[in-house]
Structure 1
Amino acid sequence: MTALRKPAAWMTAAISSVGFFSTTTVLAQFAPEPAAEPASAWTVTANVALATEYRYRGLMQTNRRPAIQGGFDVSHESGFYLGNWNSNISWLGDSNPDVSAPIEMDFYGGFKNTFGGGDWNYDVGVLQYYYPGDYPAGYVRPYTTELYAGIGYGPVFLKYSYAPTNLFGFADSKHSWYADLSANVPLNVWGLTLNAHVGYQKVQFTDASYADWKLGLTKDLGKGFSVSVAYIDTNADKTVYTNAKGRYMGKATAWASISKTF
């Protein structure tokens, strides 16, 4: 009778390996999938834009020259947000050659949310306009703080901004305010949105109050890109809003920009 021989060592190892992988495969089939990480309650976005010029409340800020602009926002799902926005400017130096302040920096924070089934929305907060630079002695700094509150329904939004400080360098102009009614209506054609706006800037204790208005279109290009065109005009007093270079800052203009949101 021929004696039974033990399997070779390599065969034993192979059989053991097959058994191991088979068992692992079976266990893997019944193992629970790892739990997905919970979505963050915070969102961070950034934006950058190139415009034919910087217009703010209808007034030229870069003396008809292009502007590069950008900023970022941090928001919480509760509605709380903080942000910063920046642009090149020239209006301070254009009005006084002894001033060197080529940048506007805005810092803001607030709370916004919806109600009434999502058709209504509101926004309240504070905004600080900061213009770093060199100013001559006795010059009224243009730094401005505004408190704002707004309410909207659908594509229409009404906002009121109040300045407890002097307004953009106007001496003794505390308690100035700005009212703004805007509408951004999707046209459901070619990715276009109609942009309409009318506002009134009250500059306390001066002859500098005026109205401004805008009518334009924005096209969504996809992947965060959009392009905008608009007609902008004001009825600002030429004797108040003509800079040292002889340009009327409230003159009507055609305006365009391209932007990217990240």
Structure 2
Amino acid sequence: MSTRFCPRRPHAVACALLTLLTASAAQAHDVSGTAALTSDYVWRGTSQSNERPAVQAGAKVASDSGLYAQVWASSVEFAPQTQASSEFDLVAGWSGALSAAWALDVNLTHYRYPDTTVDLDWTEANATLTLQDRYWLQIGHSNDALASDATGNYAQLGTRLPLGDTFRLEAAAGHYRLDTANGDNDYTHWQLGAVWAFAVPFELRVTAHDTDGDAQRVFGPWAGARVEAALQAAF
């Protein structure tokens, strides 16, 4: 996750999330995981790995009630003075069907960056509404967006289009409103990707990303047009 502002935050939220993670895991009836190697870790339109390859992995436990806990990790590379090299996302939430067509996922995500020279950790509340497993609307809110001690609100609208059993297209556009001490740092990004499920459980994903000029003003070379290729697996 992009952390370019002046950070600070105690770790009380992390302790609460870890408690939720443990409670969810104790009720778990389903365990799943992911692994990926990507040419560039891109999050909300900006590179989190200094435009270099990143290794990623995650694990999720879920109960029949819809409660779930998830841990996801990636290598990162931010500004040299932070010395950040890894990111861990601790997620506790609920997901389930609202009807035959609609589904909802709500969660609390804590982003942790261990062994850094400054405190980059922060927390965000998220909700994703999905229609027919084809269209989605995601919203996120944090009072400490990007560890900046400022409010951040994010919205993304996306769709996926299956092309047979092994191919699909995915497109999304998002807007991030960041109310920092230096004023509003709003920006918009969009992406278009193709996914080839060439052999279970492996997929090859190629995604083109771009941002508006405001993102490049705030994040410099980490924003703008870029292409990301990733080999990923789900198990």
Give the alignment's TM-score, normalised by structure 1: 0.74
1:163 to partner: Cα distance:
0.5
Alignment correspondent of 1:148: 126
- Aligned mates of 1:237, 1:83 — CA distance in 2: 29
Deviations 1:155-205 (A, max 9, x none): 1010111103x22132x41x311101111221226x111111110111114
Matches within 5 A, 1:200-215: 200-205=175-180, 206-215=183-192
List structure 1 runs of 4+ shifted beyond 6 angstroms.
Answer: none
**Contiguous gaps of at least 5 residues in structure 2:** 1-26
Equivalent residue runs for 1:24-43 within 5 Å: 42-43=29-30
**Per-residue deviation, 1:132:** 0.7
The Cα of 1:107 is off from its aligned counterpart by: 0.4
2:90 counterpart residue number: 107
Letter of the 1:111 counterpart: W
Q: CA RMSD in A?
A: 1.7
Measure, in 2, the Cα distance between the counterparts of 1:240 and 1:115: 38
Partner of 2:195: 218
- Deviations for 1:5-40, whole angstroms, at most 9, x for unmatched residues? xxxxxxxxxxxxxxxxxxxxxxxxxxxxxxxxxxx9
Aligned to 2:157: 181
- Secondary structure of 2:219's aligned partner: coil
Stretch of structure 1 that moved more, 46-55 or 203-212: 203-212
**How far 1:78 sits from its partner (Å)?**
1.9
RCO (CA 8 Å, sep 6+): is it higher in 1 or 2?
2
Larger radius of gyration: 1
Task: Give yes or no for contact 1:142–1:167 (8 Å, CA) kept in 2.
Answer: no
Deviation at 1:212, TM superposition (A): 0.8
Conserved 8 A contact 1:184-1:196: yes
Task: Tell me the matched-pair count.
Answer: 205
Deviation sequence 1:114-138 (CA, Å, 0-9, x none): 1322x11011110000011232xxx
- In terms of fraction of residues, the more strand-rich structure is 2
